[in-house]
Structures are given as C-alpha cells and as structure tokens.
Amino acid sequence: MSEVKQERKPEEFAGREYQAGFITDIESDTLPPGLNEDVVRHISAKKNEPEWLLNWRLEAFRHWQTMTEPHWPNVSYTPTDYQSISYYSAPKSQADGPKSLDEVDPKLLETYAKLGIPLREQEFLAGVAVDAVFDSVSVATTFKGKLKDVGVIFCPISEAVRDYPELVQQYLGTVVPTGDNFFAALNSAVFTDGSFVFIPKGVRCPMELSTYFRINALNTGQFERTLIIAEEGSYVSYLEGCTAPQRDENQLHAAVVELVALDDAQIKYSTVQNWYPGDEDGLGGIYNFVTKRADCRGARSKVSWTQVETGSAITWKYPSCVLRGDDSVGEFYSVALTKMHQQADTGTKMIHIGKNTRSTIVSKGIAAGFGNQSYRGLVKIGKSAEGARNYTQCDSLLIGDKCGAHTFPYVEVKNPTATMEHEATTSKIGEEQLFYCKSRGISEEDAVNMIVNGFCKDVFNELPMEFAVEANRLMEVSLEGAVG
Amino acid sequence: MLKIENLHASVAGKEILKGINLTIGAGEIHAIMGPNGSGKSTLSNVIAGRDGYEVTQGTVTYKGHDLLAMEPEERAWEGVFLAFQYPVEIPGVNNTYLLKAGVNAARRHRGEQELDAMEFMQLVREKAKLVELDQSFLSRGVNEGFSGGEKKRNEIFQMAVLEPSLALLDETDSGLDIDALRIVAKGVNTLRAADRSIIMITHYQRLLDYIEPDVVHVLADGKILKTGDKSLALELEERGYDWVRAEEAAA
C-alpha cells in the first residue's frame, strides 16, 4: 500500500533467531534407531520395571502397530520414519545418580543457565520445585523433602513406578488409554520418563510444581509421560516449560499427560512451550504431537489448562477435560503463536457427562509470516449432563498477509437443557493501531508487541506470576521483526 | 516552527494535495477549514507520517529539519502530535502503559532519564484533571469501549502528557456535544504556550468560539485558497465555501 516507504516483505516476519539453539556436550547412552518389541523390552529393563508395566507397554506397542498416523489435522509435513528414531537416550552421568543439585553435571546446569532458568535461583527466589527432564531421564528433583512433609509426591515417573507401584498401576492409562490414538499408543510403548504428582486428600500443595523439559541428544524422540492425581479436596498448580536446542532434522515429541481430579479437587496445569520452531525456510523444528487429558472424576472437581504455545514446527494438541463428576468445571485458556513456517492445530475437548458441569474455552491464535494455525474444539454435552454450560471464545490475530487462521468448532448436544455460547473473531493487526502507537512515539516492534500482548491478556491473566512474566517476554522475543 | 512549501501528495495514485504553502510560527494557532474531501485529513496524516501517503513534490520543514525524512515515532519524539479524528481501540493495552512507553521513548531520545512508575502516575493524574477525565480511564484499554466524546478527551489528555511542540487536532470537535466541546477546548486553551503551535482542522466555526485562532486558512481542492483572521471563519459560516472557490477561479 505504501508508496512512500517500501513495505516489509513477509519473509522478514520471521522472528528473532532462536535463542535456545545450542547443544550441550554430554555423553549419551543411546539406543540405535529403530522400534520393535526388543526395544520396548530394553527400555523397560533399563528402568528395572515390574512385569505389569512391561506387559502394559507391549500391549500398547502391539496396538500401535495396527494403527495409522492421523491425517485429519490441518497441517502438512514429511511423514516421520519411526524406524529412524532412537527411542532411548540417557545422560551417562546418570549412572551415578545425583542426589542433589550439587552433583548434577555442571554442563547441564550451564545449559539451563543459558536458557535463563537457573534451578538454584528458582529454588531460592521463586519457591518452585523443579523436576528437570534432560532428554529422557530426570536428573534433578528439588524440594522433595518439603513436599514430603505434607504428603505430596513429586518425582520422576520412573521413580514412582519403583516407589509407589500401586498408585501408578491404579491410575496410569485410565485417562488416556494405551490405544487412545496413534501417538498415545506410541508413547505408552516407549515412554522413558516424565513427572508423577500425587496430592493426598485435603492437601493444598504448598508450592507451584514446575518441570522444565529439554530435548537434547541428536535424533532422539522424546516421549514424556506425566500423571497427576489430586485426591479429594486437594489443590495443585503445575507448571510445564519447554525449550530445546537447535537441530537440523525434525524431532518427534509425543507426550502424554493424564490428570485425575477427585471430589472437590483442583488442578491448574500451565504450559509455556518454546521448542525449536525450525529455521526461516521451515527446515527442522520439533513435531509436537501431544495428548493431554484431564478426568474430572469427582463431584465439584476443577481442572484448568492454560497454555502458551510459541515453539515447535508443528503443534498438534488438544488438552481436554472429561467432566464426569456433577458440578465439575473444565477450563482451557490458550495462546498459540505461529510465525515463519510454523503450523499449529490446537484446541480442546470438553466432554460434559455429569450434571451442571461447566466449561470455559478462551483461545487466542496469532499467525505471522507464513504461519498457519487452526483452532479445533469439541464441546460434547452427553445425555446425562443436565444443565451443562459452555462458553467458547476464539479470537485470531493475523500479522501480514501470508499467514492463515482457521476455526473448527464442533458441538454435540444430546441434552436440551444445555447452554452454549460461542464467540469468534478474526482481526488483523491494523495499520491504524500501529500508526496510532507510532504517532505516540512507540517504535513499530514495540507497538506490535504491545498490541499482541494486549490481545493475549485474558489468557496471560490466568498464568501463575512467574509464567506470566516469561510469557510476556517470550512473545516479545518471538515477534521481533514480525511487523506487517 | 513549521514551513510547508509547494506540498503535493497522493493517496493510491490520486493527487489529493496540490501545492500547499503554509508557515506556522511558534505559539501560533492556525485553523484549517474546508469542505469534505478538500485534503484536510491528508495534510495532517502527511505531517504525522502515516504510511500510504506519497509526497510527490515539495518540502515540510519542522524546527529547521526535513520532517518528511523522519519516521512517525521520530516525529513524535521531536514533538509532533496528532489528535486523531477517529482514535482507534487497542484492546487489552492499558491506556497509561501506552502513554508511558511513548513518554519514555521520547525522553530516551532526548537523552533524559526515564520516568519511573511513581513519577509517571503523578504526571498522569495531574493531566487527567485538565480534561476532566475520570481516573478509571487511565487503567482501561486504549479507547476500549470509550464513547466518542471520551475518545476525543483522551486524545487531548495524551497531548497534555506528551507536551508536543506542534499539535495537529484533526476534527477534534466532531461528534462532541456542547459540554464535551467546552471541556476539550478548555484543555487545549490551557495547553497554549509560546513554544507550542497548534493546527486545528475543523468543519465548523463553532470550535473557534472556544479556541481562538491566530490565522484561518481555507483548504479546498488540495490548495489553500484563502488565508485570513478569525473573521474569515465567521464569513465561511455564513456564506459557505463556494464563494472562496469562485474568487479563486476568477483570479
């Protein structure tokens, strides 16, 4: 439009170079690429797992072999060769088993420092316990003692399998069954680690639990398994942050997260995902195919999913709530940013089964550059869900004219007493808004950041304080130069 | 303060301004009046530096510098301010936050220390009183859900905070009821200063009853056809614009 000044090309929208792109040099104990029953057995043996878990894995593996990769998401990519991936990689120093942060490989700590998440500082300043997952094995868990005093269990899931086998066996796979979908089945077969959280009856977890994930070894798929159980009347806030170093080949990440909330329990699950999105030509980057689901099993239970998704080449995830208990509440607050050649097909599922169940969905999608994103959401009101209510709001913001935003809302209502509200908007960062800011002395980049952060405000307000600050910063970094 | 010479500008290839000449001294208030489509808003947008306005000929000199060579934000730092005809809403962006970013960007540019949150809030509270803007507006989203009158008051409030050397008021009176007009005018009058020039763009003489201009220009068909004192505005009110055009044609 402008003839006074040359318009910026969409190619320039590509955000600032990925800041977390470095590779830590730690010797890895890595399986050769390929997947068969022996690999599954090997993983299970490496972790000294009980028989039942091996059988559970094998069942999942056999199921997986009969399944095909789904192609319904609105994304395109070169198919993954599942035989070219290595399914196990553990930092070698793990053999000695660090007992405190002091024993952790200094190079690992350095890596975290580069990412701006010094464990120790967090420990002291933020009062946050960190279960750091480096590649596939947890190497540092802090604050365990404090948590233990109130009966909270927060540990790597492999440890939970060893120390609390009954709990794990009782709940594992009850929210996301082994055969739920292609990626969940794969995860069930080969998951290496992840977090386990158990909040006993009536306990309010005294601190926010936080896990920073990091994918490191070359060509290693990462399969996290997280299980959080909140017993009657308990409360927990769980923070998940992810960033990965730079890589040329696509990396598959297929995590499974299961949440169980019993009567009057509350779980708040917050994610900031900043994995490597690929380079400016769309080469490389993480394939983030995740299954996250909460079972609001108890009456008056409540689960909130809050996510800020700014990384990954492809994101495919639908944190969902099964509202089984009467008067249970499900919430989903999401900001997804796709820039450069990133693609995201994300949203949620709210399955209303109990009476007077309520769900809220607030989704904010921002597309810049050649980014493409879809909101896909299902709200299902079952026959038994007398008086169920849902409110859905989907807003999309486009930056430039080479990007795309789509909305696929699915609604199934089988009970006539249900109340449904849906609002959707799509807007462009207006030339008017930009000019308004500039005429007040604000540079174009600052103006874009300001407008985008304003757009995301409803969701950022839902984040715990530490994450809200990080999310703001992340959006700023990601959007640098993304002006249209 | 501002010197415009033979300014020609086009929008989407169509020439709107066809040779504007205008000189505004420090401390002066000039009113630019004219019929719809005469190029009034184009002129203010060119001065403020909006994209999409192509200057094909002529110069604009501001405080001795080539204004057209500057980015819009640089112009703001140098003291140019545009009060918008239709202020845009920016949802979720705090009104005060936007202003603070603007004020501090200008201070950085001038090599001054940035105002901290306390100092800024003090400044803002004081200035909000000038236009009788309720404190609650300060923490709301920029123009978000403001009425037409509130938006215009917010513009003058911003002007008060940013303390420009050259303020362009683009139809600040339009859409205001008489009470709001009085408040806005009072605000502008308070901001009159020996080192501050103001250009008021308006359709109506009414505004000039409240803010008395030193000079009145008639802009029509992309040119300034007539310049006079405030009596010219009264004459326009009475006779419309056609006689000015006729005079020009005869000359």
More confident residue, A333 or A121: A333
Give chain A's contact residues with B (Cβ, < 8 Å).
1-5, 430-433, 435-444, 446, 450-451, 453-458
More confident residue, A27 or A372: A372
Letter for the amino acid at A285? Answer: G
Percent of chain B with pLDDT over 90: 72
* Helix, strand, coil share (%) of chain B residues, nearest 5: 40, 30, 30
> For residues B90, B91, B97 and B99, what is the CA-based torsion angle, rounded to 10 degrees?
20
Distance between CA atoms of residues A413 and A385, nearest Å:
9
Distance between CA atoms of residues A118 and A112, nearest Å:
6
Q: Which of the residue ranges A65-79, B176-190, B229-243 has the most confident prediction, judged by mean pLDDT?
A: B176-190
> How many of the other CB atoms lie within 10 Å of CB of A398?
20
User: Predicted confidence band at A100 (pLDDT cuts at 50, 70, 90)?
Assistant: low
Q: Say which of B48, B51, B105 has its CB closest to residue A5.
A: B51
Alpha-carbon distance A284 to nearest alpha carbon in chain B (angstroms) = 34
Helix (H/G/I), strand (E/B), else coil: A310: coil
Q: Say which of A432, A444, A455 has its CB closest to residue B92.
A: A455
Q: Kindly report the length of chain B.
A: 251
Q: Render pLDDT for B125-177 as a digit per residue (tens, 0 to 9).
A: 999 988 888 888 888 899 998 988 899 999 999 999 999 999 999 999 988 88
> Which residue is it, tokens 């319904």?
A72
Which of A429, A407, A425, A427 minimizes the C-alpha distance to A483?
A: A429
Structural domain spans, chain A: 21-434
Q: Which residue of A has its CA nearest to B12?
A: A1
Letter for the amino acid at A259? Answer: L
Mean pLDDT of the region A239-254: 65
User: Predicted confidence band at A135 (pLDDT cuts at 50, 70, 90)?
Assistant: very low
Kindly state the tokens that stand for A454.
């304003």
- For testing contact with chain A, the best of B11, B86, B88, B104 (most A CBs within 10 A): B88
What is the phi-psi region of residue A478: left when phi exceeds 0, alpha when psi lies from -120 to 50, beta otherwise? alpha
Partners of residue B12 in chain A, C-beta under 8 Å? 1
Percent of chain A with pLDDT over 90: 43
**Contact B172/B127 with Cβ under 8 angstroms?**
no
Distance between CA atoms of residues B24 and B4, nearest Å:
9
Which pLDDT value is given to residue B151?
92
Which pLDDT value is given to residue A484?
41
pTM for this one? 0.79
**Contact B62/B166 with Cβ under 8 angstroms?**
yes
Contact A450 B98 (CB under 8 A): yes
Mean pLDDT of the region B70-83: 96
Structural domain spans, chain B: 2-250
**Contact A361/A390 with Cβ under 8 angstroms?**
yes
* pLDDT at A28 > cutoff 80: no
User: Predicted confidence band at A168 (pLDDT cuts at 50, 70, 90)?
Assistant: very high
User: Predicted confidence band at A280 (pLDDT cuts at 50, 70, 90)?
Assistant: confident
- For testing contact with chain B, the best of A7, A364, A397, A438 (most B CBs within 10 A): A438
Kindly state the tokens that stand for A473.
């910063």
- For testing contact with chain A, the best of B56, B71, B73 (most A CBs within 10 A): B73
Alpha-carbon distance B140 to nearest alpha carbon in chain A (angstroms) = 11
Least confident segment among A72-76, A138-142, A194-198, B197-201: A138-142
Which pLDDT value is given to residue A423?
87
Mean pLDDT of the region A36-47: 91
> For residues B180, B183, B184 and B189, what is the CA-based torsion angle, rounded to 10 degrees?
160
For all residues of chain A together, what is the average pLDDT? Answer: 80
Contact A453 B77 (CB under 8 A): no
For all residues of chain B together, what is the average pLDDT? Answer: 92
More confident residue, A206 or B83: B83
**Contact A156/A197 with Cβ under 8 angstroms?**
no
Task: List Cβ neighbours of A465 (8 Å cut-off, separation of 6 or more).
Answer: none
Asked if B52 has any chain A CB less than 8 Å from its own CB, the reply is yes
Letter for the amino acid at A256? Answer: V
Q: Which CATH architecture has domain B2-250?
A: 3-Layer(aba) Sandwich (3.40)
Distance between CA atoms of residues A252 and A83, nearest Å:
12
Q: Render pLDDT for A342-362 as a digit per residue (tens, 0 to 9).
A: 888 999 999 999 999 999 999
Distance between CA atoms of residues A32 and A344, nearest Å:
30
More confident residue, A275 or A180: A180
- For testing contact with chain B, the best of A1, A2, A4, A396 (most B CBs within 10 A): A4
* pLDDT at A434 > cutoff 70: yes
Alpha-carbon distances of B208 from A417, B189, B190, rounded to whole Å: 61, 11, 15
**Residues within 8 A of A (CB atoms), B 76-135 only:** 76-77, 81-82, 84, 87-88, 90-94, 97-99, 101-103, 105-106, 109
| B222 phi, psi to nearest 5 deg | 80, 10
Q: Say which of B75, B76, B93 has its CB closest to residue A451.
A: B93
**Contact A266/A294 with Cβ under 8 angstroms?**
no
Least confident segment among A174-178, A430-434, B12-16, B55-59: A430-434
Which pLDDT value is given to residue A295?
98
Q: Say which of A4, A440, A456 has its CB closest to residue B158.
A: A440
Q: Render pLDDT for A382-404 as a digit per residue (tens, 0 to 9).
A: 999 999 999 999 999 888 888 88
> Which residue is it, tokens 């040329």?
A248
Which of B185, B195, B199 minimizes the C-alpha distance to B46?
A: B199
User: Predicted confidence band at A57 (pLDDT cuts at 50, 70, 90)?
Assistant: very high
Partners of residue B49 in chain A, C-beta under 8 Å? 438-439
More confident residue, A484 or A269: A269
Q: Number of A:B CB contacts under 8 A?
A: 98
Kindly state the tokens that stand for A196.
């386990």
Contact B98 A439 (CB under 8 A): no
Q: Render pLDDT for B43-70 as a digit per residue (tens, 0 to 9).
A: 999 999 999 999 999 999 999 999 999 9
> Which residue is it, tokens 């209510």?
A389
Mean pLDDT of the region A142-149: 72
Letter for the amino acid at A196? Answer: F
* pLDDT at A11 > cutoff 80: no
Mean pLDDT of the region A422-442: 88
Contact A438 B53 (CB under 8 A): no
Contact A441 B103 (CB under 8 A): yes
Question: What single-letter DSSP state applies at residue B85?
Answer: S
Which of B141, B57, B51, B125 minimizes the C-alpha distance to B91?
A: B141
**Cα atoms found within 13 Å of the Cα of residue A384, Cβ hemisphere only:** 9
Q: Which residue of A has its CA nearest to B102?
A: A441
User: Predicted confidence band at A477 (pLDDT cuts at 50, 70, 90)?
Assistant: low
| A283 phi, psi to nearest 5 deg | -90, 135
Partners of residue A3 in chain B, C-beta under 8 Å? 10, 13, 52, 54
